[in-house]
Amino acid sequence: PPLPAAQVRSTFLDFFRDKHGHLLVPSSPVRPRGDPSLLFVNAGMNQFKPIFLGTADPRSEMASYHRVVNSQKCVRAGGKHNDLEDVGRDGYHHTFFEMLGNWSFGDYFKVGGALYCTWVPPARVLPFGLKDNFWEMGDTGPCGPCTEIHYDHVGGRDARTLVNMDSPDVVEIWNLVFIQYNREVDQSLRLLPRFSVDTGMGLERLTGVLQGRRSNYDTDLFTPLLHAIQQRSGAGPYAGRTGTADEGQVDLAYRVVADHIRTLSVCIADVSVQSAGTCVMRILRRAVRFCIEVLKAPQGALASLVPTVTYMLVKYISHNASELGERSCLHVVPALQIMDIINENEAHFLSSLRQGSRLLQRTLSRRDYRDRLFPASVAWSLHRDLGFPLDLVDLMLAERGVQVDRQELDRLIAENQQQAGVSSRLMLDVLSLAALQRVGVPHTDDSLKYAYRLEDGRYV
Ligand code: ATP
Ligand code: MG
Ligand code: MG
Ligand code: MG
């Protein structure tokens, strides 16, 4: 029988802890603490940034770390590492995933550490460019040369004959980075006081390989969730189809919803809704649309998946719970409260969606837009007043066979850029603040809740 994901994780952690003297440390929350350069934690190394930079408080526990190992909750849905658009289209990019990693902080480096070979046959080398051979966490921060280890699901081939480098047959599973530099604000590279090793391996991808599955969605990290989605929807069972074979994009919807509900649960559990509001809200809205419009699930179905996610993740992430402590579990916001927050935001979104559709219909019925461009001012108002992400506005227009006056819309966007950025963020923050408040979760920014009030989907 295939190795369960929980065992894949524990085998990795135990190997570095028991055989190679690494300290097992907890995953940090997905909202980075004290690092404004990041929206979400996007790699295991993020929480160790002060160690790489040599700025860790000498009295902190972290200052004594030499070798550590962990499984880090990561979100790649914004910033430098943004995989949102790939989710569901391939079987191995998720917005939320766990990154297994081991580190040496000025301890072992190339020889004692990660590389055992001095020569690799050319048939085993993939000719990638700088983007894949130099790893960076964001616009600034620790970075260095890296090597990416890939798994070929086909096997027995000469790497030099592979033409399509984006083929889903060849999947990156592990990245080894030799952290030597810091990318400064002026984009220059500063050599760091000591050299470190940083590795990251996606648990979902490793599990896929070990369970002999091309798609991570066919592993035990996702199948219980896909089942739960089917039970709540009007769709047939998940069939793993992709591209044009996936009629009506039903299987795509399954994958997107399964991915997004994991991300939403983790982000809300880590109380990162307020500060990462816009991004989390975008994920929520995408999930709601796929759930209701494609999978024909009733309102509330999305939130009802939360217990399945939290059960799975608590069970998995709390591996070695006694050492990792409670911090690593999804415990900050309990499942019922996560569900309330999702339901409340879903209801609000659906009501804006109805208002938006009415506004669209009204506008379209007044005029024939077959040879004419749809007025940018109306598209803009969908975005500004009803909080629609602009890509959703585009999609809704495309579904009705009309095209927006792009030039004028771009002008409006540019004109309102600063103001709009701030106000839509505020609106979404107020929404989630209200939801958090109702379920009694403490939040940080009191000024917002007094400054704005929602009326008919507009905030005043
Ligand atoms: P890719 O080239 O496939 O997008 P990456 O080079 O961006 O991956 P790294 O930043 O090197 O990824 O992250 C380390 C490891 O984390 C990867 O080797 C992979 O196993 C895993 N990983 C990265 N992005 C994702 C994702 N979106 N979903 C699941 N696993 C991921
Ligand atoms: Mg990537
Ligand atoms: Mg890569
Ligand atoms: Mg990589």
**Where residue 71 sits, what CATH number does that domain have?**
3.30.930.10
In a domain, 154, yes or no: yes
Q: For residues 144 and 183, what is the distance between their CA atoms, to the nearest angstrom?
A: 9
185's tokens: 């604000």
Q: Which atom of ligand 1 is nearest to the CA of 99?
A: 16
> How many whole angstroms from 204 Cα to the centroid of ligand 2?
14
For ligand 4, the distance from its centroid to the CA atom of residue 315, given in whole angstroms, is: 27
- 85 vs 94, residue with greater confidence: 94
Q: Pick the atom of ligand 1 nearest to 173's CA.
A: 20
272/123 same-domain check: no
Out of 72, 172, 177, give the residue to mutate to test ligand 1, the one with the largest number of ligand atoms within 8 Å of its CB: 172
In this structure, are 200 and 90 located in the same domain? Answer: yes
Q: Taking a C-beta distance cutoff of 8 angstroms, is the pair 416, 384 a contact?
A: yes
Are 379 and 397 in contact by the 8 Å Cβ rule? The answer is: yes
- Please give the distance, rounded to the nearest whole angstrom, from the Cα atom of residue 131 to the centre of ligand 1: 13
Atom of ligand 1 nearest to the CA of 94: 28
pLDDT for position 118: 53
Read off the pLDDT of residues 307-325 as tens digits, 9 standing for 90 and up: 899 878 765 554 443 333 3
User: Which residues lie below 8 Å from residue 396, measured CB to CB, with a gap of 6+?
Assistant: 356, 357, 360, 382, 388
Tell whether 85 is covered by a domain: yes
- 438-447 burial, b for 16+ CB within 10 Å, e for fewer? eeebebeeee
**Chain centre distance of CA 66:** 29
d(CA 384, CA 321): 45
**How many structural domains does the chain have?**
2
Given a cut of 90, whether residue 232 has pLDDT beyond it is yes
* Residue 304 alpha carbon to ligand 3 centre in Å: 34
262 lines ligand 1 (CB under 6 A): no
The last residue of one of the domains, among 210, 244, 278, is: 210
Instruction: Say yes or no: 309 and 185 in one domain.
Output: no
Q: How confident is the model at residue 331 (pLDDT cuts 50, 70, 90)?
A: very low
What distance in angstroms lies between residue 325's CA and the mean position of ligand 1's atoms?
Answer: 27
CA of 95 to the centre of ligand 2 (A): 11
232 in the same domain as 195:
no
The residue from 210, 245, 277 where one domain ends is 210
- Nearest ligand (C-alpha, residue 201): 1
Clarify whether residues 238 and 117 are in a common domain. Answer: no
Count other C-beta atoms under 10 Å from residue 71's C-beta: 26
Tokens representing residue 44 in the block: 């295991």
Q: Poorest-confidence range of 95-104, 158-167, 286-295, 357-366?
A: 158-167
Query: Residue 219 in contact with residue 194, Cβ under 8 Å?
Result: no
User: For residue 116, how many C-alpha atoms fall within 13 Å in the half-sphere facing its CB?
Assistant: 0
Q: Residue whose CA is closest, atom 13 of ligand 1?
A: 200
**40 touches ligand 1 (CB under 6 Å):** no
The residue count of the chain comes to: 460
Same-domain pairing of 250 and 296 = yes
Is 152 a domain residue? yes
Which range in 28-42, 270-284, 330-344 is most confidently predicted, on average pLDDT? 28-42
Three-point CA angle 133, 134, 136, nearest 5° = 140
Is the pLDDT confidence value at 100 over 60? yes
The residue from 164, 184, 210 where one domain ends is 210
Strands 23-24 and 67-75: parallel
Distance CA 2, CA 365 (A): 57
Does residue 94 have its Cβ closer than 6 Å to ligand 1?
A: yes
* 216 found inside a domain: no
For residue 249, is it within any domain? yes
Q: 3-state class of 34 per DSSP? A: coil
Q: Which CA distances in Å does 222 have to 229, 236, 239, 256?
A: 11, 17, 13, 11
pLDDT at 400: 83
Which pLDDT does position 4 carry in this prediction?
A: 92
CA 133 to ligand 1 center in whole angstroms = 13
State if residue 172 touches ligand 1 by the CB under 6 angstroms criterion.
Answer: yes
Domain that holds residue 246: 222-459
For position 126, what pLDDT does the model report?
76
Q: Are residues 144 and 262 in the same domain?
A: no
155 and 287 in a single domain? The answer is no
**Does residue 173 line the site of ligand 1, with CB under 6 A?**
yes
Which pLDDT score is estimated for 444? 39
313 within domain boundaries: yes
Residue 34 has a pLDDT of 75
Report pLDDT for 115.
Answer: 52
Residues 236 and 382 placed together within one structural domain of the fold: yes
Confidence of residue 121 (pLDDT cuts 50, 70, 90): confident
Between CA 348 and CA 435 the distance in angstroms is: 11
Using CA atoms, how far apart are residues 94 and 85, in angstroms rounded to an integer? Answer: 10
Q: What's the ipTM?
A: 0.99
Q: What confidence score (pLDDT) does residue 317 get?
A: 56
Which pair of structure tokens corresponds to residue 17? 């802890």
Give me the pLDDT at residue 455, please: 36
277 lines ligand 1 (CB under 6 A): no
Query: Quick check: CB of 146 below 6 Å from ligand 1?
Result: no
Ligand 1: does its nearest atom lie under 6 Å from the Cβ of 83?
yes
Looking at the CA of 84, name the nearest ligand: 1
Residue 215 lies in a domain: no
Give residue 454's pLDDT: 34
Give the distance (Å) from ligand 3 centre to CA of residue 172: 6
8 Å CB contact between 254 and 235: yes
CA neighbor of 320 nearest in space, from 22, 15, 26, 83:
26
Ligand 1: which of 136, 175, 207 to mutate, judged by most atoms within 8 Å of the beta carbon?
A: 175
Instruction: Give the DSSP per-residue string, 321-355.
Output: HHHH-GGGSS-SS-HHHHHHHHHHHHHHHHHHHHH
Q: How many CB atoms lie within 10 A of CB 86?
A: 13
Q: How far is CA 319 from CA 8, 27, 267, 326, 357, in A?
A: 11, 11, 20, 11, 47
Query: From the CA of 181, how far away is ligand 2's center (Å)?
Result: 20
Q: For residue 42, what pLDDT is reported?
A: 94
Same domain membership, residue 296 and residue 202: no
Identify the DSSP state of 212: T
Tell me the pTM. 0.84
**From atom 3 of ligand 1, which residue's Cα is the shortest distance away?**
172
Does residue 90's CB lie within 6 angstroms of at least one atom of ligand 1?
no
Closest ligand to C-alpha of residue 42 is 1
76 CB within 6 A, ligand 1: yes
**Closest C-alpha to ligand 1, atom 30:** 202
> What integer is the mean pLDDT of 215-243?
96
User: What pLDDT is attached to residue 105?
Assistant: 95
Whose atoms come closest to the Cα of 174: which ligand?
A: 1
Average pLDDT, stretch 79-105? 94
In a domain, 378, yes or no: yes
Cα 149 to ligand 3 centre (Å): 9
Considering only CA atoms, which residue is closest to atom 4 of ligand 1? Answer: 93
Report the candidate in 204, 209, 199 with the shortest Cα–Cα distance to residue 152.
209
HEC assignment per residue over 158-211: CHHHCCCCCCCCEEEEEEEEEEEEEECCCCCEEEEEEEEEEEEEEHHHHHHHHC
The answer to whether residues 147 and 288 belong to one domain is no
Q: CA 13, CA 33: separation in Å to the nearest integer?
A: 24
Residue with CA at minimum distance from ligand 1 atom 9: 175
Q: Are residues 145 and 270 in the same domain?
A: no
Which of 315, 294, 316 shows the shortest CA–CA distance to 230?
A: 294
